[in-house]
Amino acid sequence: MDINLIDSHAHLPHLTNKPTLETLLTGAKDWGVEKIINIGTDLKEHPKVLEVCTNYQNVYCGLGIYPNAERDKTLADIVTKLEATLQTNPKVVAVGECGIDNTGWSNQRPLSEQEELFEAQIVLAIKYKLPLIVHNRNGTESVINLLRAAGKNAPFNAVIHCFDADWATAKRFLDLGLYISFSGFITRTTKKYLTGVAQKVPQDMYLVETDSPYILPQSAQIEVSPNKNNEPKYVRIVAQSVAKARGTTLEEVAYQSYTNSCKFFALH
Ligand SMILES: [Zn+2]
């Protein structure tokens, strides 16, 4: 049985030259990847992300401002520009990625400013009835507080992309009605706790992604050596790892995650 997958999170602008976008998208199709959500993380990148969506029928996008991006602009300026871009193309199917990153970047925004930027994007997601793609690195408390507060005023969907924590944390997100997205992290022997999360997550609450060109699945490392760039086709390896953790088949995980992604992003 052939399978259909959706890579719910890839950064195609970072990949355009290595290999060429065309080769990469053909490779994805050959591996059963039917649709890709292309992610834009700053204002300069958004036109490139939209261009790929316009040129390829099976590529959709999420547009957002990364926690540490656009530090030279005011919040009002960022929101105005992001909002204008969100309205330009029906293939924008999400706001994000956006969220909290406390990993000690050299250009890191202070936490309070990251929270303001995230909150502004939650407001946009609600306003345009789009789901939210959440980036969370050492920011669980802020993410939960802000999403919980926003959810009290208006219902909206959000996914914790590239989920990288234990079941207790996953449960806190799931209890708020949030989706969990598994990446190549689940293939790593150093992150065994993710197997437990994949085992227990309800079947209608998870997505799969590559976050390519980052987070290359462990078993793909030999194939793409030495450049080590991840690409959308490897979402199949992520799905295989989720299937193994859940004690089920790749077909079942492909079907379920495909259905979940279509519902989450309102794809047809
Ligand atoms: Zn990303």
Annotated binding site for a divalent metal cation: 9, 11, 97, 135, 161, 211
Q: How far is the CA of 248 from the centre of ligand 1 (A)?
A: 27
CA-wise closest residue to 238 among 27, 1, 6, 2: 6
Can you say whether residue 215 is alpha, beta or left, with left for phi > 0 and alpha for psi between -120 and 50 degrees? left
DSSP state of 234: G
Q: Is the pLDDT of residue 226 over 80?
A: no
Q: How many domains does the chain have?
A: 1
CA 108 to CA 106: how far, in whole Å? 6
pLDDT band, residue 19 (cuts 50/70/90): low
Q: How far is the CA of 10 from the centre of ligand 1 (A)?
A: 7
- pLDDT averaged over the chain? 94
The per-residue pLDDT for 16 is: 56
CA 83 to CA 102: how far, in whole Å? 26
Q: Which residues make Cβ contacts (< 8 Å) with residue 214, sequence separation at least 6? A: 11, 230
The per-residue pLDDT for 6 is: 98
Q: How far is the CA of 9 from the centre of ligand 1 (A)?
A: 6
The per-residue pLDDT for 107 is: 83
Condensed to tens digits (0 to 9), the pLDDT of residues 180-194 reads 999 999 999 999 999
Q: How far is the CA of 212 from the centre of ligand 1 (A)?
A: 8
Q: Which two tokens stand for residue 227?
A: 């450049």
CA-wise closest residue to 236 among 25, 1, 6: 6
Condensed to tens digits (0 to 9), the pLDDT of residues 56-107 reads 999 999 999 999 999 999 999 999 999 999 988 899 999 999 999 999 888 8
Find the domain containing 15 and state its range.
5-265
Q: How far is the CA of 1 from the centre of ligand 1 (A)?
A: 30
Q: Which two tokens stand for residue 223?
A: 């194939």
Q: How far is the CA of 121 from the centre of ligand 1 (A)?
A: 16
Q: How far is the CA of 71 from the centre of ligand 1 (A)?
A: 18
The H-or-E segment that residue 36 falls in is strand 33-40
> Please, what sign has the CA dihedral across residues 149, 262, 129, 65?
positive
What CATH number corresponds to the domain at position 231?
Answer: 3.20.20.140
Collect residues with CB below 5 Å from ion ligand 1: 211
* Sheet of 132-137, strand order: 5-10, 33-40, 59-63, 92-101, 132-137, 158-160, 179-182, 206-208
Q: What is the dihedral of CA 106, 173, 50, 12, to 10 degrees?
A: 60
CA-wise closest residue to 29 among 222, 232, 215: 232
If you average pLDDT over residues 196-213, what whole number do you get?
97
Q: How far is the CA of 214 from the centre of ligand 1 (A)?
A: 8
Q: How far is the CA of 207 from the centre of ligand 1 (A)?
A: 14
